[in-house]
Amino acid sequence: MVVAALLALGAAQFSYALPGLANSMASKAGKVHCKHVRYPDMVRFAEKAWRLIRWADGKPEKATAAWPHKLRCGAGPGHRKAGKAKWRVLKRAFYEHRRRKLAQRERLRYLPFACGGGTRSAIPCSIMECESGGDYRAKNPSSTAGGKYQVIDSTWAAYGGAPYPGSHPASEAPPAEQDRIATAIYADVGSSAWVCT
């Protein structure tokens, strides 16, 4: 009788160790309610969760709440460790994508005019093309006007432009700063601020 009990216990422990077994002893005891999850399944779940289009305007924390449960159900330490590593890679990729997307969205606030060919402008395209041809480094040889929007240095300073060295400070400014200041000028004065109207 003792021998039979020992054989039954050994068989139960062997079946519990099988990674694909759905109804483990722990499940029966009510401690874990899941099937063993292998690494490939974790990867598929993680990729689906972090699919970038899905998080265009949402918060990832809510929809990734199932991940800890999925991880707890890993078929073994190796599967869980590899799953965690893959999750971290996908998470970093998502947040980097979102950082770039938000930066682009912020910049487009100051570029309301679509000029064709994928270019945009803070002021009407015809004025911008006439003034500089879209060159952020353009310098007027007969005045202090510079940059994509040919802003003279006094106007540049009046609108909070940084005091870049040289006689054409606007042309030395980063594109985002030129766009922001040109947007402010256009909002205040309109197209009359430029010669090309």
pLDDT tens for each residue of 37-52: 888 888 888 888 787 5
In this model, does residue 114 exceed pLDDT 70? Answer: yes
**Domain range 113-193, its CATH number among 3.30.160.100, 3.40.50.720, 1.10.530.10, 1.10.3720.10:** 1.10.530.10
Reported as a single tens digit per residue, the pLDDT across 48-100 is 878 755 555 556 666 577 788 778 888 888 888 998 999 899 888 888 888 88
Instruction: Mention every residue, 6+ apart, whose C-beta is less than 8 A from residue 95.
Output: none
Predicted confidence at residue 3, as pLDDT, reads 38
> Which secondary structure element, helix H or strand E, spans residue 121, and what is its range?
strand 119-121
Whether residue 122 contacts residue 149, with contact meaning beta carbons closer than 8 Å, is answered with yes
The DSSP secondary structure of 165-197, one letter per residue, reads SSS-HHHHS-HHHHHHHHHHHHHHHGGGGSS--
- In the chain, how many H helices and how many E strands? 10, 2
Predicted confidence at residue 184, as pLDDT, reads 96
CA distance 194 to 128: 9
0.75 cut: is pTM over it? no
Domain chopping of the chain, boundaries: 34-105, 113-193
